Chain A
Amino acid sequence: MNRLIKILLSFLLVLSFTSTSYSRDQIKIVGSSTVYPYATVVAEKFGKSGKFKTPVIESTGTGGGMKLFCAGVGANHPDVTNASRAIKSKEKSLCEKNGVTEIIEIIIGNDGISFAHAVTSPDANFTKEQLWRALALKVDIDGRLVENPYKKWSDIDGNLPNKKIEILVAPPTSGTRDAWNSLVMVKGCTKSAKSLYEAAGKKAKKECAKIREDGYAVEAGENDTLIVQKLTSNPDAYGFFGYSYLVANKDKVKAASIEGVQPSLEGIQDYSYPIARPLFFYVKKSHIGVIPGIQEFLKEFTSKKAMSNRGYLAKIGLVPLASDKYKVTRTAALDLITISIK
């Protein structure tokens, strides 16, 4: 009964103070769903180990996270946002407009996108151009842009298997698709196609990244676990997702080589695996000292225990930074070095 009264009182209290901002004793994190699994592990360890509450982490996607993060300073706004790409200049100016002028950038490690298929089907190797040709809306043939005519992999290159093209792609809202677009679709796009687009007065980058809509590329939703399930049940299908899903499901799926390189810790770390990208999070410096524990959280996240080759993040699939880059990250976290937002 006492508890119920307390609950009701706190409820009334909150309603009566509605317009005053409230204080918070818990770090609030938003942002990328790719960084979410790593950030949650750190948050949980952080909450268990010390005198601070476990941070609350919301998975909003990189863009959504930036919007919330840059909305202002104060307890009503998140302290940290995760990102699977660097902050864009547009987002920087939004931050500046709302008074978020001091931002600390932390690179936490690398992620490789694996292009995978069921373990039951034979090993495969693709070049970026072949992947682009298999997925693009329009491809260049004999110096002209045409609707993608390829139905089988062997139509693209005689060395590829004589099987129907079937690729599960992440939806346009996901960071993985962003990274896939910039690392595979744009890089794999042929020069002649790019110049043809430019001659037509269109932006080559945008046009190259467009994905075909005739049923050979299937949009599979944000849920990477589901993609793994679909790949297992269909040995002819391919799909792409973060490296951590490959590690967790290596009994069900395996990765195709890209340009002859298999995804591996070392390959992603030194970017010799062609589809690798860094992962970030951003911290509001003005919240340090106001919301308890932010500095300690930064220390925990960037500690060797978490981030090194044998750290606990590596175990769940984060590819650690090379040692020189690690030093930069660690210094940024300890000395709270802010980035320029101009």
Chain B
Amino acid sequence: MTKEERLKKRHRAEKRFRFYGLSSIVVALLFVIILVNNIFSKGSSAFMKTVINVEVFFDPELIEIKNGATEDEILSADFFDITIETLLKSYPTKNIDEEDGLIDLFTTDAEIEIKKAFLDNNNLIGKKINLEITASDDIDQLHKGNYPRDLPEDRRRISNFQLEIYDNFVESNKIDKNFNNYFFNNGDSRDPELAGIGGALVGSFYSILICLLLAFPVAVLASIYLEEFAPKNKITDFIEININNLAAVPSIVYGLLALQILLATIQLPRSTPLVAGITLALMTLPRIIIPCRASLKAVPPSIREGALAVGASKFQSVFHHVVPLALPGTLSGTIIGLAQALGETAPLILIGMVAFVVDIPSTPVDPSSSLPVQVYLWSESAERGFVEKTSATIMMLLSFLIVMNILAVYLRQKFEKRWN
């Protein structure tokens, strides 16, 4: 083999390697695009809801309260008759089956929506207003094109009569799409049109807050002590190895630990963000300590030595000079640790977070679900409307993760000092 040939061979090897690298990146990107596209195409419709415009007449005959009633009186009043009357007036029906079919086009919360409209404008008795009432899940899915209509009637959830009403509503422009406020404000529900991630959002927020409050100070202090003060001997080596091991322990193990200690022994209440927060804090602790120590290590010794040389104590040199310089790395490490905790499901299953919770939790000791758990719960539901809800919740979760990761990168880029 001549010199030229060997050179060519080496160049070919380099080209091949570049090609492999590039193609693996392309394949990885392709998978991400397919995944994201799949989630977005299914989920984006969940941010809108279908509403039906109806005319509500607050007939004094059908209502027990008078104009100027207090809020409590209105809330306890019965709006059932008015609701049924309103819904039945929206389309002519011939018999009780058709009446049932018509009422089924609207959400089961129609009465509450009418009551709310009355509350907002408390002198409507004897007056007529136009109100947009949320459509039922079946009509919602039909209107969004997620449910086929060219099937024989017995294979469809919507009857021919209901289709006829729907077509009539569409023609007379009574059907509209609005922003889906329920998706953000409501807790879980068995009616897909009413189900929302409000409860899960609050639950996740409390869990992450508690996780932050517990894990951050402990992790920072532990890493400062280990890095700056602790003597380097076999014991600290042993601790260091174990921290690295703990960071690699599967999260479900922390769930089992919490089940035994927090729930069985200390008897904290099940299914609460408090327990979730403590569990996630245990899990996140080693994952924060590692980047914290790395960023402390990255501060050059000349800073410490300079501080000590002008008479600062060890404590002063660490807390006045080293820690502020290491802070950006510490913070971004913490944020990435919390982002991992936010997406964690396995330990939460064991501490009872996989639960149907309708009321939005007001304190960390109220039962609650969390975002990833909500995804899990809805993916198992039979109703068609939950398919888009599942994808939309994944979209929310992904966007939180992206925001947190961007924040971490930004903090590091903006405040990090480079030592050249």
Q: Which positions in A face B, CB cutoff 8 Å?
A: 6-7, 10-11, 14, 18-19, 21-22, 24, 26, 28, 30, 33, 36-37, 39-41, 43-44, 47-48, 53-54, 56-60, 76, 119, 222-225, 244-245, 247-251, 254, 316-317
Listed A/B pairs (15) with beta-carbon separation below 8 Å: A10-B363, A11-B274, A26-B359, A28-B270, A41-B190, A43-B356, A44-B190, A47-B359, A56-B355, A56-B357, A58-B356, A223-B380, A225-B382, A251-B156, A317-B382
Q: Are A248 and B189 in contact (CB under 8 A)?
A: no
Q: Are B155 and A250 in contact (CB under 8 A)?
A: yes
Q: A18-B266, A76-B269 are in contact. Are A249 and B382 (CB under 8 A)?
A: yes
Q: Are A251 and B148 in contact (CB under 8 A)?
A: yes
Q: Are B155 and A119 in contact (CB under 8 A)?
A: yes
B347 at the interface (CB under 8 A from A): no
Q: A56-B271, A58-B352, A250-B155 are in contact. Are A225 and B379 (CB under 8 A)?
A: yes
Q: Are A10 and B365 in contact (CB under 8 A)?
A: yes
Q: Are A6 and B363 in contact (CB under 8 A)?
A: yes
Measured between beta carbons, the chain B residues less than 8 angstroms from A37 are 190, 381-382
Measured between beta carbons, the chain A residues less than 8 angstroms from B365 are 10, 14, 22
Q: Are B367 and A251 in contact (CB under 8 A)?
A: no
Measured between beta carbons, the chain A residues less than 8 angstroms from B352 are 30, 58, 60
A236–B365 Cα distance when bound, in Å, is 50
Measured between beta carbons, the chain B residues less than 8 angstroms from A316 are 190, 382
Q: Are B356 and A11 in contact (CB under 8 A)?
A: no
B196–chain A nearest beta-carbon distance, Å: 13
Measured between beta carbons, the chain A residues less than 8 angstroms from B377 are 59
B167 at the interface (CB under 8 A from A): no
B147 at the interface (CB under 8 A from A): yes
Measured between beta carbons, the chain B residues less than 8 angstroms from A224 are 380, 382
Secondary structure of the A contact surface, majority rule: mixed
A314–B191 Cα distance when bound, in Å, is 15
A316–B274 Cα distance when bound, in Å, is 34
Measured between beta carbons, the chain B residues less than 8 angstroms from A10 are 363-365
Q: Are B359 and A54 in contact (CB under 8 A)?
A: yes
Within the complex, which residue of A7, A26, A41, A225 is in contact with B364, where a contact is CB–CB below 8 Å? A7
Q: Are A47 and B354 in contact (CB under 8 A)?
A: no
Q: A11-B210, A224-B380, A251-B157 are in contact. Are A18 and B354 (CB under 8 A)?
A: no
A60–B271 Cα distance when bound, in Å, is 12
Measured between beta carbons, the chain B residues less than 8 angstroms from A58 are 270-271, 352, 354-356
Secondary structure of the B contact surface, majority rule: loop
Q: Are B267 and A19 in contact (CB under 8 A)?
A: yes
CB-CB nearest 6 A-B residue pairs: A54-B358, A248-B382, A57-B356, A58-B355, A56-B367, A40-B356
User: Which chain B residues in 258-273 approach chain A with CB under 8 Å?
Assistant: 266-271
Q: Are A14 and B268 in contact (CB under 8 A)?
A: yes
A12–chain B nearest beta-carbon distance, Å: 11
Q: A223-B380, A250-B157 are in contact. Are A76 and B354 (CB under 8 A)?
A: no
Within the complex, which residue of A22, A39, A43 is in contact with B269, where a contact is CB–CB below 8 Å? A22
B151 at the interface (CB under 8 A from A): yes
Q: Are B274 and A14 in contact (CB under 8 A)?
A: yes
A57–B387 Cα distance when bound, in Å, is 21
A187–chain B nearest beta-carbon distance, Å: 27
Name the residue among B355, B363, B379, B384 with the largest chain A CB count within 10 angstroms. Answer: B355
Measured between beta carbons, the chain B residues less than 8 angstroms from A18 are 266-268
Using A7-B206, A28-B367, A58-B354 as known contacts, list a sample of 17 further A-B pairs with CB atoms less than 8 Å apart, ordered by residue number in A.
Answer: A6-B363, A10-B364, A11-B210, A14-B274, A14-B364, A18-B267, A19-B266, A22-B269, A30-B352, A37-B382, A39-B356, A44-B189, A57-B355, A76-B270, A224-B380, A225-B379, A251-B148
A67–B365 Cα distance when bound, in Å, is 23
Measured between beta carbons, the chain B residues less than 8 angstroms from A223 are 379-380
User: Which chain B residues in 135-187 approach chain A with CB under 8 Å?
Assistant: 147-148, 151, 154-157
A76–B377 Cα distance when bound, in Å, is 23
B67–chain A nearest beta-carbon distance, Å: 26
B280–chain A nearest beta-carbon distance, Å: 15
Measured between beta carbons, the chain A residues less than 8 angstroms from B151 are 251
Q: Are A26 and B367 in contact (CB under 8 A)?
A: yes
Q: Are A43 and B358 in contact (CB under 8 A)?
A: yes
A60–B356 Cα distance when bound, in Å, is 11
B64 at the interface (CB under 8 A from A): no
B383 at the interface (CB under 8 A from A): yes
Q: Are A225 and B356 in contact (CB under 8 A)?
A: no
Q: A37-B190, A44-B190, A119-B155 are in contact. Are A248 and B384 (CB under 8 A)?
A: yes
Q: Are B355 and A251 in contact (CB under 8 A)?
A: no
Within the complex, which residue of B154, B189, B267, B379 is in contact with A21, where a contact is CB–CB below 8 Å? B267
A215–chain B nearest beta-carbon distance, Å: 26
Name the residue among A14, A30, A254 with the largest chain B CB count within 10 angstroms. Answer: A14
A180–B191 Cα distance when bound, in Å, is 29
A30–chain B nearest beta-carbon distance, Å: 8
